[in-house]
Chains A and B, each alone.
Chain A
Amino acid sequence: MTALLIENARLLDPATGRDAPGALLVENGRITSLTGAPADGIPRFDAGGACLAPGLIDLHASLGEPGHEHRETIASAALAAAAGGITTLCATPDTDPVVNDPALVQFMARRGDATGSLTILPYAAATRGSEISEYGLLREAGAIAFTDAPRAIASARTMRLALSYARAFGAFIMQHPEEPSLATGGVATEGEMATRMGLPGIPMAAEAMMVARDIALARITGGHVHFSCISTAAALDLIRAAKAEGLRVTADTAPPYFDLSETAIGEYRTYAKLSPPLRPDSERQAVAAALRDGTLDAVCSAHRPCDADDKRLPFVQAEPGGAGLATLLGVTLAQVHSGAMPLLDALALLTCKPAALLGLESGRLAPGAPADLVLFDLERGWQVKAGALPGKAQNTPFDGRPLEGRVRATFKAGRKVFGA
């Protein structure tokens, strides 16, 4: 039996609302007690009064491996994840080859396990051309859900079949909501900024339009649609109404969409070229409000590794996407430091809420739950610096952003995988 007592911690469990000083006992990779004095002779870890919360669960990240190891390997992503307090990560299938076969699903999960620090829950491709994938076989192999991200499932008929068929296997369909016939070729949000810079724009309505369509399809199929990286007020209004109606509709966003606005692409900064593109400040505020009112179920990293060759190009030609693993917690905590959100509510979006969505037993500080933990200093300041991030991917849209809240240690199944 291996055991560890993490003492002198501020225990934060968003699932129960616990926010109290205490000690946490870990035995055989699981949390066994949050109370009571343990037997003598157990190794102790002094948390120094820092915050101890469930390890973060990232609902949406794209990894460089397999196929794009020059951008990032799974080992490199795991390093960045551990430094960011992430212990579980749902990987999109946009690798090379695309994850659309049971063997590839198992490969991804195994590669995650091999890191020892990160559970990878693979998404499998939702479609193969105009047909749906083998949801049953893929699910059996361990696929957590299905998505074509970073592309949208464009055909309404295919989406209908996907939502409908996935019900049989208890999986949701994650949509990258962007109407392709309006979005193709666009690289920025249509409006004054894109007009001044001479960049082809994507109207914001392209997002709401796809969300509206898929809500209608969720209604007729009874399927579960999850919208990822929501970035506009109009789409949020539709999701809010669909939830009130009782439809199986969930949604997440990523830190750039509540922390940055489109002005970040000024001077053609390709590190701020994302998909969906950054929006005007009015939308940023609407996304931040939706974090508070429960319209959004999670904050994901939307991590997407790019190397210098992908980004040091004219803006239109540069790859979209930002590295997001190391900054997920810090940028989310900025909402707490600004007074916009209570700490436990912000952490819930990174832990117990995505866990509930995925049906995981992690994401909480409870006896029996896996001892996946993050220890962080809430107030400690640091500055994001492209080139100095953990892991290979350095394409952060937050370059230069000062943050408060830094991971001190990360534990996976009770074992320290990051920190001193």
Chain B
Amino acid sequence: MSFSYPILPGGHLLAIEGLEAPHIAALLDLAESYALLNRQGKTQRDLLKGRTLINLFFEDSTRTRTSFEIAGKRLGADIVNMSVSTSSVNKGETLLDTASTLNAMHTDILVVRHAQSGAPALLAQKVQAAVINAGDGTHEHPTQALLDALTIRRHKPDLRGLIVAICGDITHSRVARSNIHCLNAMGAEVRLVAPPTLLPADVTRLGVQVFHDMTKGLAGADVVMMLRLQKERMSGGQVPSAREFFRFFGLDREKLAYAKPDAIVMHPGPMNRGIEIDSAIADDPLRSVIGEQVEMGVALRMAVLDVLARGLRRNA
């Protein structure tokens, strides 16, 4: 496959905001081919041979880190996992000190997760490696949005005009922000369903419709995307209790019945069963594509690594 333009401008993947439909479509097409190879059990171990990929996680994560690790290994990269404790003395110093350490080690690709919005962008200014944002604060989680789009596309081939309802804690969700930008770029109609205390200010300016009632927000939806509700939101007072949240904003059969009969249900994981989603739906093979999201995550991340590695070869 060859591309006549850079799919990821700047040589990093820091955010979905700023990417346009052709960029995203090209990534998804490439990821599609990796999904096929993965199912056939084939690997391409020469593509990233001799390249060093570092998973730099300032926040705990199992699934995203593992997904990048598998993606990198299937392409033949040398992978190092670095978990940096967030309780270390001075996080800021650690970040820039880490950057100079990584430069000295001649890292090719850096996958970063950090609790602060903008931290991967700051690192990208200081390191020579290609940087992939694996989630920064409440800003973006671009590979999650891309794997979500890939998963949706396998069930609903044309994203244009699809109604996607994103439900739950929007304020604190980087997954929601990346998905809003990605789905809007691809021509879908994005709805947010949440109590007003979990919606960030002026969010309609991002090109979404806002609902506070699941039955209205889900009406006619093609895709229902649930978000994880962090336990601390309850202690922070944004939601009075788990049972009240589940009653009005949790996804159960009754509420899902308002969506289209063939609507798919998604969740970035890990799930709080009985808080934002009923187990009966999470485990329903006819509706839930949550397992497939994980599978597509590896394929999509292979595609991102592939594209960034092409850039590295050009610069080498």
B window 1-32: CB within 8 A of A: 17
A267 to chain B, nearest CB (A): 7
Residue of A nearest to B93 (CB): A309
By a CB distance below 8 angstroms, the chain A residues around B206 are 192, 195-196
Contact between B121 and A195 (Cβ–Cβ < 8 Å)?
no
Closest to B204 in A: A192
Given the known inter-chain contacts A196-B17, A198-B140, please indicate yes or no for A315 contacting B116, CB distance below 8 A.
yes
A191 contacts B by Cβ under 8 Å? yes
Q: In the complex the two chains form, what is the Cα distance from A395 to B100 in whole Å?
A: 23
Q: Does B261 lie at the interface of the complex (its beta carbon under 8 Å from any beta carbon of A)? A: no
In the complex, what's the smallest C-beta–C-beta distance from A262 to chain B, in angstroms?
12
A251 to B201, CA, bound (A): 29
Q: Which residues of A contact B17 (CB under 8 A)?
A: 196
B-contact bits for A199-220, CB 8 A (1 contact / 0 none): 1110100000000000000000
In the complex, what's the smallest C-beta–C-beta distance from B237 to chain A, in angstroms? Answer: 12
Q: Which of A301-319 contact B (CB under 8 A)?
A: 309, 312-318
Contact between A195 and B202, CB atoms less than 8 A apart: yes
Q: Which of B96, B119, B140, B201 contacts A195 (CB 8 A)?
A: B201
- A198-B122 CB under 8 A given contacts A314-B92, A317-B92: no
Query: In angstroms, how far is the closest chain A Cβ from the Cβ of B124?
Result: 11
Are A315 and B201 in contact, with the CB atoms below 8 A? no
Most chain-B Cβ atoms within 10 A of its Cβ — which of A190, A198, A309, A317? A198
Residue B118 interfacial (CB < 8 Å): yes
B179-224 contacts to A, CB under 8 A, are 200-203, 205-206
Q: Indicate if the CB atoms of A268 and B201 lie closer than 8 Å.
A: no
Q: With A195-B206, A198-B136, A309-B93 known to touch, is A314 a contact of B201 (CB < 8 Å)?
A: no
| CB-based contact B137/A194 at 8 Å | no
What B residues does A192 contact at CB under 8 A?
201-202, 205-206
Q: Given the complex of chains A and B, what is the CA–CA distance between A199 and B92 in angstroms?
A: 17
A314–B122 touching, CB < 8 Å: yes
B95 at the interface (CB under 8 A from A): yes
Question: Is B228 interfacial (CB-CB < 8 Å)?
Answer: no
Do residues B201 and A194 form an inter-chain contact, with CB atoms below 8 A?
A: yes
A20 at the interface (CB under 8 A from B): no
Separation in Å of the A91 CB from the closest CB of chain B? 27
Query: Smallest CB–CB gap between A321 and chain B, Å?
Result: 16
Q: When the two chains form the complex, which single residue of B92, B136, B139, B201 contacts A190, counting CB atoms closer than 8 Å?
A: B201
Q: Does A197 contact B (CB under 8 A)?
A: yes
Q: Of the candidates A194, A196, A203, A312, which one forms a contact with B92 in the assembled complex, judged by CB atoms under 8 Å apart? A: A312
- B202 contacts A314, C-beta separation under 8 Å: no
- Cβ of B177 within 8 Å of any chain A Cβ, yes or no, is yes
Please give, as numbers and ranges, the residues of chain A lying within 8 Å of B116 by CB-CB distance.
314-317
Q: Which of A297-343 contact B (CB under 8 A)?
A: 309, 312-318
Interface size on A, residues (CB 8 A): 22
Q: Which residues does chain A contribute within 8 Å of B96, judged by CB atoms?
A: 312
Instruction: Judge whether B98 is part of the interface by a CB distance below 8 angstroms.
Output: no
Chain A residues lying within 8 Å of B205, measured Cβ to Cβ, are 192, 195
Check A313–B95 contact: CB distance below 8 A.
yes
Roughly how many angstroms separate A180 CA and B93 CA in the complex, as a whole number? 28
Contact status of A268 and B177, CB under 8 A, knowing A190-B201, A192-B201, A317-B91? no
**Pick from B92, B139, B203: contact of A197, CB under 8 Å:** B139
Contacts of B202 in A (CB 8 A): 191-192, 195
Q: Are B93 and A198 in contact (CB under 8 A)?
A: no
Q: Is the CB–CB distance between B93 and A314 below 8 Å?
A: no
In the bound complex, do residue B200 and residue A314 qualify as a contact, i.e. CB atoms below 8 Å apart?
Answer: no
B114 within 8 A of A: yes
The A-contacting residues of B in range 64-119, CB under 8 angstroms, are 91-93, 95-96, 114, 116-119
The minimal Cβ–Cβ distance linking A393 to chain B, given in whole angstroms, is 19
* In the complex, chain A residues 150-200 whose Cβ is within 8 Å of any chain B Cβ: 190-192, 194-200
Q: What separation, in Å, do the CA atoms of A196 and B206 have in the docked complex?
A: 8
- CB-defined interface of A348-379 with B at 8 Å, one 1/0 digit per residue? 00000000000000000000000000000000
**Closest chain B residue to A315, Cβ basis:** B118
User: Pick the contact of B177 from A190, A198, A313 — CB < 8 Å?
Assistant: A198
Say yes or no: A267 contacts B121, CB within 8 Å: yes
C-alpha gap A268/B114 in the complex (Å): 15
Indicate which residue in B93, B118, B138, B140 contacts A268 across the interface (CB closer than 8 Å).
B118
Q: Given known contacts A190-B201, A191-B202, A195-B203, is B117 in contact with A268 (CB within 8 Å)?
A: yes
Q: Please, what's the 1-or-0 string for B127-141, where 1 marks a CB less than 8 Å from any CB in chain A? A: 000000000111110
**Contact A316 B201, beta carbon cutoff 8 Å:** no
A143–B201 Cα distance when bound, in Å, is 42
The verdict on B267 contacting chain A, using a C-beta distance below 8 Å, is no
Contact of B200 among A195, A309, A317 (CB under 8 A): A195
By a CB distance below 8 angstroms, the chain A residues around B118 are 197-199, 268, 314-315
Q: What are 25 A-to-B residue pairs whose CB atoms are below 8 Å?
A: A190-B201, A191-B201, A192-B201, A194-B200, A194-B201, A195-B201, A195-B202, A196-B17, A196-B177, A197-B118, A198-B136, A198-B174, A199-B139, A200-B138, A201-B200, A203-B201, A268-B121, A312-B96, A313-B122, A314-B114, A314-B118, A314-B137, A315-B117, A315-B118, A316-B117
Known A197-B118, A198-B174, A314-B116; further 11 A-B contacts with Cβ < 8 A: A192-B202, A192-B206, A195-B202, A195-B205, A198-B140, A309-B93, A312-B122, A314-B119, A314-B137, A315-B117, A316-B116
* Chain A residues within CB distance 8 Å of chain B: 190-192, 194-201, 203, 267-268, 309, 312-318
Rank and list the top 10 A-B pairs by shortest CB-CB distance, nearest first: A198-B139, A314-B116, A268-B118, A313-B92, A198-B138, A198-B117, A195-B200, A192-B202, A192-B205, A314-B119
